[in-house]
A and B are shown apart, each in its own frame.
Chain A
C-alpha cells in the first residue's frame, strides 16, 4: 500500500554522504556504514539543504524521509512532477538529477543535496513541449510533464532513435487517457528535427 509518501525511511535517521550511492545504502545500519565509510554521517530530524533547481540555488528544510517530490511540490511550488504512483511505476514524477532521469517520488531529498535538478517547468523553451502541443500528445495532461521530461532524457541519449527504439524506450511512463500514439508521433518528429 502506498499510504505514505516517504515510507522506508523514518523521520529520524539518514546517512548523509557525497554520492547517490550513499542514498541507496540508507538501509544499512549506522554502525555498519560508519565502519565501512568513515566519511559518512547520520542525519536526523529536520535539516536544511540546498539544491540547484532549474538553474537556481534553492534551500529546503527536510527530514530524512522527505522525498524530492515533496520538496518540489510543497516547498518550491513546482507541481509539474506528479504523485501518481509513489513506487515510481507510473513515471509521472520524472525529473532530471544531474541530467539523469529519476523518479522524484522515490528519490530522497537528502540524496539530492547540492545537486542539479531539472523539472518540466524549465523546459518552456525546449522543443519537446512544443512537439507535444503540435501532435496533441496530451489529454487530461496529468502524466504529461513526466512524459516530457522522460522524452527529453531519452532524446539526449538517443537523438537519432528509430521508431522501434522509441517504442521500446519510453515504457517507464503511464498515460491513462491513451496519448501514446500522439507521443510517438511527437518523438518521431523531434528526431527528424521538424
Chain B
C-alpha cells in the first residue's frame, strides 16, 4: 500500500475545518446532562469532607477524633496531614492544608463530623509579605532565583585583571549615562488562584485490587501512575475517567494528596467515595500563580529604542520560595544589553502550580509597563514606542508579524482617534479615558496523541483517544477532523475521549491539545481512508490515488460516473472492522502542526478619578494561530482569555492577613472575579494571511491570556497620567497612586 502523505485539505475544499461549528456536547452542558466528576453518584458512596488547617504556619500537635466518630452517619475518620497518637507533630506551611478527613453518609454528616474534630496547634511565626523584599531578607525568607547579563559585543570583554562583575557594572552605568531617556520604575502583580468552578477531587471505587477513578483532570492518560506510586499498585490497575471537567487552567494534572486519601478511605471502608474540595479549600490549595514585583531601570536612545535594561524582581510561589521565571525579562522585547536577576520569597502559602501560560502574563505585566512609561516620559505615542522597539525582540523573525498585528489592532480600537498623551485626555466630570498595549508570544507545540479509529462494515465510524475536553471543544475538533477527512457529516462519527483505557493522549497543558488531537485523528483517518481506497479502487477498477471521499461517497476525482456510497464502500471491508491506531509523538516534524505565535492586545478604559473604579470600554485581541480549526470555539478561547486578563488586571488577588498569614478572601464573595457587566466590548481578530494556514495547527489556549493585563495597566496610566504600579488595579490602589502623584 502506498505510504500516506499527511496534509490538510486546501482552503476551498474544506467543509468543516476553519468553519464555525457548534460544539457537539453543547446541549448536554446547557441542560445539565453532562456529568462531571462532582455529579457522579455511585451506589452506597460515602461523601468525604476534610478539615483545612486554619493557620498559615503551625505544628499540629494532636487530633482528637472521638467526637467526630460519634456523629450518627460518620463511617470513618482518616488522618491526612496530622500525627497519629504518639507521633511527632506535623509542621504545616499553608492555610487550608488538609489535616483530617471525615467520611459520612451525606455531605452534611461529613461536614458535621469535621466540625467536631479537636486539634491542638502550636502556632509558629508566619510570613506572607511577598511584595516586601527587605522584610523577606530580614526574616531570611529569600532564595536566589536566577539571573544573568548580556552586553553588546561592541562593548568588548573584561580584561584579565578586571573583576568581571565590577566591569559589567561599569559598562551598565556607562550605557545609562549615554541614554537619552532613563526610566526607573517598580511594578507588580499579585498572586491569583485558579479557582476552578468544579473543585479538585474525585469520585472513585475499588473493584478488587483495581481502582476506578472519576477524576476532575486535564491529564486523563497520565494520572494513573500518580495513584500507582502512592498506593503501591501498578498503573495498569488504575482506570481514570473524565468525560467533563469543570475548569483546570493548569492546576489539574495529578491525583493530588486528597485524591490519594480518597482511594485509601474507599479501600478502608470498602465503599465508593466522593471527595471534592470545598470552595475555600479550592482557593487555598487548589492552585495558585506566583506573584511578581520588580525594580526596573531602562535606558533608551533619542528614538525611544531601549538600549539597556536592568531589573531585579521577586515574588512568591508559596513555601517552596520561587517566583516568576527570570528567562522572559523583559517580555518579548530584548534590548542589546540587559541584566536581570530574580529572588524567590518563601511565604507560608500552598506552592503554586502551572497557570494558563505559566510566567508569561506576570512577566508581560511588570515589564511592558516600563516600556509604556518610557513613552510617557518622552511625551510620545505608546504605539510608536512599541513599534520602534520591535527592532530588538527575542524572536527577531517575528518583528514584521508584530508590526502588522499592532497596525490591525490600532485600526480596530481606533487608536489614532482616541489617542492622547499620558494624562492629557479630555475629562468628563471625574472620568478620564486611555489606551494601552501589550504584546505576547507562545509556543503551542502539539502534544503526543494516539487515536484508535474503527470503521465498521456497516459504515459506522468510532474513535478512541485518551484526551480530555478542558472547555476547548476537543470532542468537536476530533469529530470535525474525522468527518472532514472521511467525507462524512459530523454526526456520522462517534468520538470517545476521557478514559485512560483509550490510547494515550497528552495532558491538556501549554496549548497542546487541539494540535495533538488534530494530528492523531487526521493521521488515523487518512490511513484508514487509504486502506478503504485500495478496496474501492479494486472494485471500481480505477487507481486508488484517483479517489476522493466527499459528501458521503467515494468517487473518482473529476469523473463523477464512477463512485460508491460510503456504506457500499465499507461493505467491502469484510466481516471485521477496519482498525488503525495512529501515533503522534510531540516534537515529530509534521506538516499538520507547528509552533510559535505572536499576538497583541489593546485596551481602552475609563477611570473614575473620584472612586478609583476602572471600566473596560473596549478590548481588541489580534492573534495568529496557524490553521484555524473551529473558528467558533477558537474565538471563544480568545474571548475567555481576554476576560481572564481583565480579572487579573482589575479584580482578583489572594489576600493574606499580614499578621496571621491567613488567606482571608477565599470565598467567591470576597475573591472578586469579573461578572458579565464588567467586560466591555471585546473584539477578536485572527491574523491569518495565507502563510499562516500553511503552518498547520498551533495551540491557542495560552497566548491570548497573556498581554491583556499589560494593555489594561498601560491604558489606566495613559488615562490618568499616573502609573498604578501593582495589578490588580483595585479602586484603592488607583486612588492611592493618584494621591501620591498629587503629593
Contacts and interface: CB of A to CB of B under 8 A. Distances in A.
Contacts of B29: 138, 141, 144-145
A65 B676 contact: no
B639 A182 contact: yes
A82 B216 CA distance: 14
Contact of B668 (A73, A84, A123, A124): A84
A139 interface: yes
A70 to B, nearest CB: 7
Contacts of B679: 180-181
A89 interface: yes
A107 interface: no
Contact of A136 (B196, B636, B667): B636
Contacts, number: 209
B673 interface: yes
B637 to A, nearest CB: 8
B31 A148 contact: yes
B41 interface: yes
A186 B563 CA distance: 42
B677 A168 contact: yes
Interface stretch (B80-88, B240-248, B727-735): B240-248
Interface string A117-134: 001110110001110111
Interface stretch (B106-114, B363-371, B521-529): B106-114
B23 A133 contact: yes
Contacts of B25: 141
B245 A140 contact: yes
A158 B552 CA distance: 45
Contact of A139 (B30, B32, B38, B636): B636
Interface stretch (B62-70, B120-128, B320-328, B640-648): B640-648
Interface string A1-41: 11111110001000000000000000000000000000000
Nearest to A86: B279
B231 interface: no
A136 B639 CA distance: 11
A55 to B, nearest CB: 15
Interface string B640-664: 1111100100000000000000000
Interface residues of A, number: 67
Contacts of A119: 32
Contacts of B673: 174, 176
Given A5-B108, A89-B667, A179 B639 contact: yes
Contacts of A134: 22
A145 B31 contact: yes
Question: Among B106, B196, B676, which residue has the most Cβ atoms of chain A within 10 A?
Answer: B676
Interface residues of B, number: 66
Contacts of B4: none
A178 interface: yes
A11 B108 contact: yes
Given A3-B114, A174-B668, A177-B471, A167 B30 contact: no
B198 interface: yes
A97 interface: no
A2 B279 contact: yes
Interface string B249-266: 100000000000000000
B196 A176 contact: yes
Contact of B38 (A82, A89, A167): A82
A181 B635 CA distance: 10
Given A89-B669, A129-B31, A140-B470, A73 B39 contact: yes
Given A2-B279, A92-B197, A176-B197, A183 B22 contact: no
B108 to A, nearest CB: 5
A145 B26 CA distance: 11
B14 interface: no
A129 B635 CA distance: 19
A79 interface: yes
23 contacts: A2-B667, A11-B112, A70-B106, A70-B107, A79-B35, A80-B33, A89-B669, A121-B32, A123-B30, A123-B31, A128-B30, A139-B470, A140-B248, A141-B29, A141-B246, A142-B197, A144-B30, A170-B675, A174-B197, A174-B673, A175-B197, A178-B642, A180-B679
Given A5-B111, A174-B668, 10 more contacts: A4-B49, A78-B32, A80-B31, A87-B667, A90-B668, A144-B29, A179-B639, A180-B679, A181-B642, A184-B676
